[in-house]
Amino acid sequence: MDIKVIAFDADDTLWVNEPYFRRTEEEFCTLLSEYLQPHALERELFKIEIDNLGLYGYGVKGFMLSMIETALKVSNKTISLDHIEKILDLGKNLLNEPVDLLAGVEDVLDTLKGRYRLVVATKGDLLDQERKLKKSGLSHYFHHIEIMSEKDDANYLKLIKHLDILPENLLMIGNSLKSDILPVLNIGGYGIHVPYAVTWAHEQIEHTIENERFRTVEHIKEILQFL
């Protein structure tokens, strides 16, 4: 491998994220339990979230709006203002969750810094991701921060153009096969999948990946054996 740049996903690769969303979703379902059973409400919320991605993108703010839209729909627009206020509070609490680093992350970054150019390649709300990166205390490890509206082939190609490298000079590390690994393999880069215990349904894929430029590890520290 002729790796020059190592890109790291942020949420659920560097720090905890999805469990906070799951907990908020559970609280939302409890709040609206008089209108719909939890599993049915989860399905309705997920459908509305996916429909809204093109409008709001990824992140907490879009999630808040989707919760409000779901509440209006399942209540037939009879939801009280008090309930709407509580939904907004759920979203604000989610924005203020602590940034808890995953085990081994800082050790890996410390080992690799100076040997490679390290970048963050993530998606989501710009302000929220910048806030989390600042709170994480990891900013000084990274040469560049890329916050994408979508992680697809085109945006990864823009990233390698900005970094002035070839696709085969890029190694992407992340917890999502769909967003972090497949697009990078598609353009000729390398990918290492570090699974996380909780993965959003939208990021899951059913087929296996067979590619000589792809590896899966159980823990982020294991990536060092390939470098």
Domain chopping of the chain, boundaries: 5-15+99-226, 18-95
Q: Which tokens in the block code for residue 208?
A: 């296996």
pLDDT-derived band of residue 204, with 50, 70 and 90 as boundaries?
low
Q: Which among 19, 13, 46 has a CA at the least distance from the CA of 138? A: 13
Domains 5-15+99-226 and 18-95 share a fold: no
SS3 37: coil
**8 close to 118: Cβ distance less than 8 angstroms:** yes
Can you tell me the mean pLDDT for 53-76? 94
Q: What is the DSSP letter of 151?
A: -
Where are the extended beta strands (E) located within the chain? 5-8, 117-123, 144-148, 170-174, 190-193, 214-216
Please report the pLDDT score of residue 58 as a whole number: 87
d(CA 226, CA 223): 6
pLDDT band at residue 210 using 50, 70 and 90 as cut-offs: confident
> Containing H/E element for 196?
none
The dotted CATH code for 18-95 is 1.10.150.240
Lookup: tokens for 176:
């999502």
Condensed to tens digits (0 to 9), the pLDDT of residues 165-184 reads 999 999 999 999 989 999 99
In tens, the pLDDT along 88-127 reads 999 999 999 999 999 999 999 999 999 999 999 999 888 8
5-15+99-226 has CATH 3.50.50.60 classification: no
